[in-house]
């Protein structure tokens, strides 16, 4: 009996394609379709119809949630967090590159936050920053730095700063792990030759270290940009997007539309907006990767 190789390949690949289609593509396509429907659990679901771009118009013109303020909050949340995460993570990686006694234990303690749940971290820091009985106020008052407790999460002036501090604390280990691995791949002969030529530590950093790990820096920064934008757990656990929308970003607004207002149409439309912005980040990432290959670091 003669076997059909193409039929055999289809038979072994079909379960994988069905699984991917069911788990990944079906929810994405369904979410995009709902973004163009008046799908609200407060209304009669038998009346659900396609409504064109009405959900997107409602998001842009919502008087209770200024869309452009949410965009600005999202940009602040991403790029302030990203800047300090990268700088502190890079410094930490440089320090951990040199061997010292107890480096393994210290590295484990430093990298521990990255293994924790973002939502759990948000709850812990919400208690630390609590305006009435939080540990942060207690420490500052004992040090005589403040006279009255600060409403870190209830005052719009401090709320965004507070959640960004937590996000920085959470994200530093990621850059430290990735950059430390890249730093350890640099041949020691390069540094020895530079020292013989009289290059100081600053010149070695900018002319050897950074150019050598440029590809890792580009990929980690862009990937982390996407992850931070799509990471509402800390904000949602600490403030829920408040007070007065001071910490409301696109991802938290999407959750609020679904969980508080049961408006799956507008929630899905917000998801589509996030997906388009993430797609733009992915294009930048692919172009940066192509530039790296042409540069042949």
CATH number of the domain encompassing residue 109: 1.10.3720.10
pLDDT confidence of residue 295: 45
Note whether residue 161 is domain-resident. yes
Determine whether 263 is exposed, middle or buried from the number of CB atoms within 10 Å of its CB (0-12, 13-18, 19+): buried
- CB-CB contact of 260 with 241 (8 Å): no
pLDDT confidence of residue 29: 92
- CB-CB contact of 297 with 211 (8 Å): yes
Q: pLDDT per residue over 91-102, tens digit each? A: 999 988 877 777
Whether the predicted pLDDT of 183 surpasses 70: yes
d(CA 102, CA 154): 41
Note whether residue 296 is domain-resident. no
Q: pLDDT per residue over 200-253, tens digit each? A: 888 888 888 888 888 888 888 888 888 898 888 899 899 988 888 899 999 999
Note whether residue 290 is domain-resident. no
pLDDT confidence of residue 105: 78
Beta strand spans in 183-251 (E): none
pLDDT confidence of residue 33: 93
The residue segments making up the domain with residue 77 are: 71-247
Q: pLDDT per residue over 239-289, tens digit each? A: 988 888 899 999 999 998 998 889 999 999 999 999 898 888 778 776 766
pLDDT confidence of residue 289: 63
Note whether residue 140 is domain-resident. yes
Total count of domains within the chain: 1
pLDDT confidence of residue 249: 93
Q: pLDDT per residue over 101-154, tens digit each? A: 777 777 777 777 777 888 889 999 999 998 888 899 999 999 988 888 898 999
Note whether residue 124 is domain-resident. yes
Note whether residue 230 is domain-resident. yes
pLDDT mean over 159-164 = 94
- CB-CB contact of 248 with 70 (8 Å): yes
d(CA 249, CA 241): 7
């Amino acid at each position: 009996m003669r076997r059909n190789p193409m039929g055999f390949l289809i038979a072994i690949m079909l379960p994988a394609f069905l699984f991917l289609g069911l788990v990944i593509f079906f929810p994405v396509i369904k979410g995009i379709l709902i973004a163009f429907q008046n799908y609200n659990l407060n209304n009669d679901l038998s009346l659900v119809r396609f409504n064109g771009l009405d959900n997107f118009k409602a998001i842009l013109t919502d008087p209770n949630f200024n869309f452009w303020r949410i965009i600005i909050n999202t940009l602040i949340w991403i790029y302030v967090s990203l800047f300090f995460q990268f700088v502190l993570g890079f410094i930490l990686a440089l320090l951990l590159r040199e061997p010292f006694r107890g480096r393994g234990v210290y590295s484990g303690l430093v990298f521990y936050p990255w293994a924790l749940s973002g939502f759990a971290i948000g709850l812990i820091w919400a208690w630390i920053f609590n305006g009435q009985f939080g540990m942060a106020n207690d420490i500052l008052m004992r040090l005589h730095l403040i006279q009255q407790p600060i409403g870190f999460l209830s005052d719009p002036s401090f709320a965004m700063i507070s959640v960004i501090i937590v996000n920085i604390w959470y994200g530093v280990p990621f850059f430290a792990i990735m950059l430390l691995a890249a730093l350890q791949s640099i041949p020691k002969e390069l540094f020895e030759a530079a020292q013989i030529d009289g290059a100081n530590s600053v010149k070695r950093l900018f002319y050897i270290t950074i150019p050598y790990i440029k590809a890792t820096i580009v990929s980690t920064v862009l990937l982390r940009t996407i992850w931070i934008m799509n990471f509402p757990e800390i904000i949602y656990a600490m403030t829920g997007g408040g007070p007065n929308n001071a910490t409301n970003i696109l991802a938290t607004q999407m959750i609020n539309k679904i969980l508080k207002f049961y408006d799956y149409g507008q929630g899905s439309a917000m998801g589509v907006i996030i997906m388009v912005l993430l797609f733009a980040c992915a294009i930048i990432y692919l172009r940066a990767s192509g530039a790296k290959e042409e540069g042949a670091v």
